[in-house]
Each structure stands twice: as structure tokens, then as C-alpha cells.
Amino acid sequence: MSNELYPSWIELSKQAFEKNISFLKDYIGKDVVFSSVIKGNAYGHGIGHFVPMAEECGVRHFSVFSSDEARQAARASTEEDTHIMIMGMINNGALGWAIERNISFFIFELDRLKFAVKEAQRIGKPARIHLHLETGMNRVGLEKDQFEEAVDIIRNNHKHLQIDGICTHYAGAESVGNYVRIQKQIENFKEYSSWFEDQGIEARHRHTACSASALNYPETIMDIVRFGIAQYGFWPNRETYMNFVKKYPDINKEHKDPLERVLSWKSHVMSTKEVPAGEFVGYGNTYLTGRDETIATVPIGYSHGFGRNLTNVGIVLINGKRAPVAGLVNMNLLTVDVTDIPNVKKGDEVVIIGHQGEQEITVSSFSEMRNNMNYEVLVQIPSRIPRSIV
């Protein structure tokens, strides 16, 4: 459907995504499975558009948080050999649905394991499971004192279970402040996964790494890497980028970021108005013109993810220039000062995130203006905003 119907739109760069996964695959090695994490509506990029684009670029393994995301991914997929893995929430009542569709899921409690066996018996098809071990995250995971019972269940029902993986998740691998905790988790996983092997439980894959742990702790790269934020062109944080540059100076010898942002967010000028000096703009009295000013309205607001806390501090790009927000960010529109930008008119392109001319507003800069992480900014972009591949 044409973007003319919408106040703003998202563009996804296939070229940028291809560049990112090429870099990341080279880094982890050709024998390691690249799993594309698409939770949170593919980090705001849109599961429905992102999955087929990723498949066109050779991705065949996707990780989601919940069964509803798995359903969206399955509907969007166009390749028969694509596999979907649920890392988090799936109700026991939906396990049969997952088993029938060859979708694997994490086991981090005995109740889910027992119900998976029951559903696999009923359906006559083995459940594909990943044993998620508690190594020190203290969020979800099979506890050490549950290991023996889990092994007994698996041994007694080996015909109904396919052990796709044994895995864990690290507690903040992006920050050096968590170094000691991460090292302990790495040690625990080695010990626990070896114990399962000694009990005859052989998993097809061992996997623990997300973007941050893969980039900061190469020893966590095993059989699968679950890449989230990095595949979309963002480092988990600035610290991770700086550590990587120091560790691999040859990769960054041209001082150019090897990751490229996939997402751009655009709108257009809805209207312009000449406002005399000494007048308030918009609701209340948050912005007073200090001179005769040209004010442009843009049809996005806090209902679209452009936060109210960007009042008088946000920036957009118009005609290759930076235009500051002037006045309160409303539910559906914002006003910007374009006095110093020549020839702004109705219909001109507005960039909220992305390039325009020589200027750029990154998600990182946008998130810093909002005092949020780039993860948070991305997932708050509403799913109703149309996406397209460019």
C-alpha cells in the first residue's frame, strides 16, 4: 500500500542487512549457525517484512521470545528449511501446536518438559527442545538440583524428545561491570553441559552467545549465535564497540563502523506557518518565538514513538538540515523551527532516523535525546507504521 496514506513510514535497507550478516558470519565462522533474533517485532523492524528479507539473504534460523511471535514468523517465512526457535513464553496448551509445526522451544522448568512429552506422545512426533540451564542469570533456567530429574524424564521418553540444544543466557555481557559474573556463568555452563553429556544427553547444539557476548567474549561462540541488535546495525552499547576496535584493530583500520543501520524512519512536512516574534507555539507556553520564525508541522507524535520528552530538544532532518523541535510534542504531530532552512514547503521529506544529505540522525543519538537505550526506541516504533524494503 502506498506510503501516501500514512503520516510516516519505515524503510529497511537490504544492502545494509547483507553487509551486517556478512561481517558477523565472517566473525563467528562458517560452521556456526547464525540465528536471527526477531523478538519485539524484529526490534521494531517488523517481523512480516524482515523475515522474508533475511531469508533472501540466506538466513534460515530465527529466534523469537514467544509463541505469538513464532506464529508471525511462520506466516512471513517463504522457505521450507527455515527453523523457528522460541526462547521464552509458550503456554503448555500451545506446545502441541509448536511440535506439529517443527518449532523448537526452550525448556527451563520441569513442568514444561513433562507437558512436552505428553503432547509429543499424543501427536506421535518428537518435541524439539533446548535445555536452558540456570548459570547465574537468576531469571529462568533449569536449576542444578533439577538436572537429575530432567535427565530421568529425557531417558524415559527419548523417543518423544529431540534435544536440539543445551543453552544459557548471560547477565549483561555488554558491560565490563559484569565481567566477573559473566566469567562465572561461562564456567558454570561448561561444567553443567559436560555433566549432561556424561549422562548420555547429547544435544545437537550448544549455544550461549547473543550479540554482546559473541563480540565481547569470543569463547562463548559455540554452535549457534543468537544475533539480535547487531544484525540490525547497532552495537549493544558504545563500550562493546570500543572494546571490539581495541581487540581487532585491523577490522577498523579505516575507522569505519563495520555495522550499518538497516532502519530509516521518515515522514513529510504537513504544513508551514509564519509566526511573529514573542508568540507561543502550540499547547501551553513551553516555546516562545525569539524572532520572526517559520514553523513547520510534522504528522508524528508520541503515539508514533516520538516521545513527549523530546519537547524542545528533539531534532529532525529537513532539506539536509537539522530542524529543532519547537514546542510540545503532541499525540499526533510536532512542530519544528525551519527559519534557517531555505524553501521548506508542504510535502518535503522529514527524516526522524536516518540519512539526509550529509546529515544523519542515528538511533543512538535519538535514544540519547530521549534518555533511552536504542533497544527501547526501536521496539516502541508502532507496528502500524508501514515498512518497506529498499
Residue 242 assigned ligand-binding role:
no
Cβ-contact 189, 17 below 8 angstroms: no
Cβ-contact 154, 120 below 8 angstroms: no
Residues 6+ apart with CB under 8 A from 335: 281, 282, 287, 295, 296, 297, 298, 325, 326, 327
Please say if 6 is a catalytic residue: no
Alpha helices in the chain (DSSP H): 14-28, 39-43, 47-56, 67-76, 95-100, 110-123, 147-156, 179-198, 211-216, 238-247, 363-370, 374-379
Q: Which residues of 157-183 are buried (b: 16+ CB within 10 A; e: fewer)?
A: beebbbbbbbbbbbbebbbeebeebbe
Residues 6+ apart with CB under 8 A from 140: 88, 106, 108, 109, 132, 134
DSSP state of 283: S
Q: What secondary structure does DSSP assign to 102-167, as a single string?
A: T-EEEE-SHHHHHHHHHHHHHHTS-EEEEEEB-SS--SSSB-GGGHHHHHHHHHHTGGGEEEEEEE
Reading the block at residue 336, the C-alpha cell is 519544528
Residue 139 assigned ligand-binding role:
yes
Q: Which residues of 295-332 are buried (b: 16+ CB within 10 A; e: fewer)?
A: bbbbbbbbebbbbeebbeebbbbbbebebebbbbbbee
Please say if 39 is a catalytic residue: yes
CA 15, distance to chain mean position in Å, is 18
Alpha carbon distance 293, 291 (integer Å): 6
Alpha carbon distance 362, 15 (integer Å): 17
Q: Which of 179, 283, 345, 346 is catalytic?
A: 283
Q: Which of 39, 170, 287, 375 is catalytic?
A: 39
Nearest to 115 by CA among 169, 69, 71, 161: 161
DSSP helix/strand/coil, 321 = strand
Binding-site positions for substrate read: 139, 331
As annotated, the active-site residues are: 39, 283
